[in-house]
Amino acid sequence: MFKRMQSPVAPEQDGFELCVDGTPITAQNGETVALAMLNAGIVPFRHTAVSGQARAPLCLMGVCFDCMVEIDGRLVQSCMVDARPGMRVTLLTGARDIGAAE
């Protein structure tokens, strides 16, 4: 849904990898997880717990919670977390099943 700007002076850096639902994506230094996911073309970010609607970020500044994902086991706003090599991101798919394992 997003793309990185072509810079006439600074060639694109190599970046690093993180994993979204088991699939590696490339992020650049300084990108938040949300921006790395947008640049990787991940749509949607989640399905709502209420009706299963598809959602992606609205605000990118920590207000809307539509970029919510699970990172290394924690629910977070992905726009408020810097991407790091090796992060494991899990997308949310509707309401949690309370009776499920864990």
Partner 1 sequence: MTTRECDLLVIGGGPAGMAAANAGAALGLKTLLMDEQMQAGGQIYRNINGVSGHLGALLGPDYLHGRELAARLRGSAVETHFGTLVWEVTADREVSAQKNGQSFRLRAKQIIAASGAMERASPVPGWTLPGVMNAGAAQIALKSGASLPAGRVVLAGGGPLLFLVACQLMDAGAEITAIVETSPAANLLRALPHLPTALTAPAYLIKGLSMMRKIRVAGIPWFRQASALSIDGRQQVEAVRFHSRGQDQRIAADVVLLHHGIIPNTQIGRMLRIEHAWNQGQLCWHPILDSWGETSSPGIRIAGDGGGIAGALAAEASGMIAAYGAAYTLGKITEPERDRGTAMMRRLLDRHRRIRPFLDALYQPPEWLLQPSDDVVVCRCEEVTAGRIRKMASQGCTGPNQTKFFSRCGMGPCQGRICGLPVTQILARELRRDPGEVGAYRIRPPLKPIPIGSLAALDSTTTTGDDYGN
Residue 2: count other Cβ atoms within 10 Å of its Cβ.
12
Distance CA(6)–CA(72), nearest Å, equals 32
Is residue 8 close enough to count as binding partner 1 by CB under 8 A? yes
Counting every residue written for the chain, the total comes to 102
Phi then psi dihedrals of residue 12, to 5 deg: -60, 135
Of 21, 23, 24, 75, the residue at the interface with partner 1 (CB under 8 A) is 75
Size, binding site for partner 1 by CB under 8 A: 42
Binding to partner 1 (CB under 8 A) within 21-40 occurs at: 28, 30-32, 35, 38-39
Mapped onto helix, strand or coil, the DSSP state of residue 89 is: strand
96, two tokens = 């949690």
Per-residue contact flags (x/-) with partner 1 for residues 47 to 66, judged by CB under 8 A = -x-xx-xxxxxxxxxxxxxx
Residues forming the site for partner 1 (CB under 8 A): 1-10, 28, 30-32, 35, 38-39, 43-45, 48, 50-51, 53-66, 68, 74-75, 80, 82
